[in-house]
Amino acid sequence: MSAALLDIVRNGVTVYDLAQPLEAGIPTSVNHPGFRMALQRRHGDTVRPDGSSAANELIVTGGHVGTHIDALCHASFQGRLHGGYDAEQAQRTGRFEVHGVETIRPFVCRGVLLDIAAVRGVDVLGGDEEITAEDLENACLSVNARPGAGEVALIRTGWARHWTDASRYLGADSGVPGVGEAGARWLAERGIAAAGADTTAFEHIPAGQGHLVMPVHRILLVEHGIHIIEHLDLESLSAAGVREFLFVLSPLRIVGATGSPVRPLAVTEGARA
């Protein structure tokens, strides 16, 4: 580690936790198995001669539950994955031979928060609101910062405020705000490595439609090889007025998986007051 980087750490940094808590009952798409945890061994079940004991648990979850990242094998179009790989062949062994989540390199890069709710002057976008390329451009102009090649763009709608109300958060009746096709192409033109949002599917989900069609997943994952991060908690970052930061994220190395739970961090210079 360079002396300059060590000096920054010694002088104090602020770390923003961007992950939602993982526990039973959290909002989960009907397309994915939910999170479950059970203690398999409890303190006192076995006591060692010195009086100590240990506890452990069994965790069952889908790879796209809670705050998570999509691997490039998560979406296909006309039978093809990103780069033209045949999806059927890639999954023939019961796990993906290409583009599995274990191939995602850890992110330690610049991140930019595009706070669409703040730019529109609201706490939370409505479920029927699509984020356009113009919205993303205006968010950049408002803070004089834009995501670039190899960087990460995080998009705040304010929807995470509904996290504790699973039905409202999933938005089957109301829809869920998010990026539309034009917005996705704007992001792709920036050459970013990943894009994330504080919603269930990143992209705009019209009321009553569910995940019937997912054009933004096709554009980002299949056409451009851009990872998607979902179920983020961006409230503390927004409240602190942070728009640029060091972004840190590392998926679990689950071989051949289509996604992984993650705990993303945003790091800024200077200790929090």
**Domains along the sequence of the chain with CATH:** 3-20+64-269 (3.50.30.50)
Instruction: Please report, rounded to a whole number, the percentage of residues in the chain having pLDDT higher than 90.
Output: 90
How far are the Cα atoms of 156, 204, 256 from residue 16, in angstroms, in the given order? 15, 26, 30
Helix 181-189 / helix 133-143 crossing angle, nearest 10 deg = 50
pLDDT of 77 > 70? The answer is yes
Is the distance from CB of 259 to CB of 102 less than 8 angstroms?
A: no
Report for 7-16, 22-31, 203-212, 225-234: range of highest mean pLDDT: 225-234
pLDDT of 273 > 90? The answer is no
Q: What are phi and psi of 170, to 5 degrees?
A: -75, -25
Distance between CA atoms of residues 13 and 16, nearest Å: 10
Please report which confidence band the pLDDT of residue 30 belongs to, taking 50, 70 and 90 as the band edges.
confident
pLDDT of 123 > 80? The answer is yes
pLDDT for res 209: 81
Mean of the per-residue pLDDT values of the chain: 96
pLDDT for res 10: 86
The pTM for the full model equals: 0.95
Distance between CA atoms of residues 211 and 204, nearest Å: 10
Q: What H or E segment, with its residue span, contains residue 111?
A: strand 107-115
